[in-house]
Amino acid sequence: MYTLPTSMKSNIEKNEFMIQYSQEKTRSTLELLRKVWASRKLILKVCGIGAFVGIVVILGTPKEYTASTLIAPESIRRGSSSGMSMLADVADIDMSSSSTTERDAIYPSLYPAIVNSTPFLIRLFDIKVRGQKDSIAITLSQYLRERQRKPWWSVITSAPFRLAGQVISLFGSKSDEDGERVKAKSGINPFRLTRKEAGMAGAIASRINIGVDKKKRTITIFVTMQDPLVAAAVADTVRSHLKEYVTEYRTAKTRKTLEYAEKLRQEAQAAYYEAQEKYTRYADTNQGLVRLASRAELARLRNEMDLALVIYNQTEQQVQAAKTKLEKVRPVYAVIQPVTVPLRASKPRKMMILAGCILLSGAGSVTWILFRRGFERS
């Protein structure tokens, strides 16, 4: 009688096991689907409740508008025109290591850090904004303190924190309060902010976003506010202040050179006028005299006046050269897309919130249906 080899028997047994396993898996899957289908009414009810919760969240969330502007800053690479410098501009890398190239420490990739810095945010505290329903302009800090609408559930969620803050304030030292009052009267000190000032700076920073596109070498400024007019005004102000900041940095060295050149010109001008006055006074006083001493003194005064004039002309040329260089290093920003008042709200995202609530409620109900026996046993 012929017997099968051992290897063939093992393969047949493995195939039979895989077939039984797949059949059992199919039966278990069908059983789970039957459970879900049998409880479809419950799932629909729970999804309806989730949709209702999503609608409540949408209606309770204040609308917010996002204003944006797109600018293209000029890339300054002074003294270098090689291909490596062009590649460095694209990659946003400082390759200005040669002696003929001036370093530029502020690159577009640092613009978000500049906007989020404390001195920059403090400058935005007192800018004037006016909402759609406002008759007078108020400061941005006052707008964020008094004109912000919050979801109704924030009153419940923030109650413990407000209570804890009140308790802490009762045990706080009076010297700290007096210190904050003195600071409020003397102005904002970026080195040491009060709690309110730090909170306001954080609130403003959370509503400003800077997008940097290294390939296209463009900067996009996004500002989100509950009022479209305020969002547009703040976005335009951020663009203006950012341009002033970068311009002040890039022209700082040249402006100091110009100030020094103007100082030298004033001194040279005063020296020339003084030498000219001495010469003319001596020439008028000693007119008609033929003594050699008088002629020698007159010649000396004339030489001093001519030398002072030469120095004055040189300093004037230095001033003009410094002014030309100042205009050359001043950065140029091309506003590709100016700020416009947004017409549609960017938040809340209604469809995303509604779909998320429905999916979460549906997934929770299906999980409960499939595993409720385990929950009930436990």
Angle at 36 between CA 32 and CA 42, to 5 degrees: 155
Range from 99-103, 159-163, 299-303 carrying the lowest mean pLDDT? 99-103
Instruction: Give the orientation angle of helix 350-377 with respect to helix 6-38, to 10 degrees.
Output: 110
The pLDDT of residue 363: 87
pLDDT of residue 77 exceeding 80, the answer is no
The pLDDT of residue 323: 92
pLDDT of residue 172 exceeding 80, the answer is no
pLDDT digits (tens, 9 = 90+) for 15-30: 665 666 566 667 777 7
pLDDT digits (tens, 9 = 90+) for 80-126: 444 444 444 544 454 444 444 455 667 888 899 999 999 999 999 99
Q: Name the pTM for this structure.
A: 0.70
What are the residue boundaries of the structural domains of the chain, listed by start?
A: 38-61+354-378, 73-220, 255-328
Structure token digits, residue 119: 């001195």
Q: How far apart are CA 245 and CA 17, in angstroms?
A: 74
Give the whole-number percent of the chain exceeding pLDDT 70: 73
Q: How far apart are CA 367 and CA 373, in angstroms?
A: 11
The pLDDT of residue 368: 82
pLDDT digits (tens, 9 = 90+) for 343-353: 998 888 888 98
pLDDT digits (tens, 9 = 90+) for 52-64: 888 888 888 889 9
pLDDT of residue 373 exceeding 60, the answer is no
**In 10 A of CB 335, how many CB atoms?**
13
Task: Please report which confidence band the pLDDT of residue 241 belongs to, taking 50, 70 and 90 as the band edges.
Answer: very high
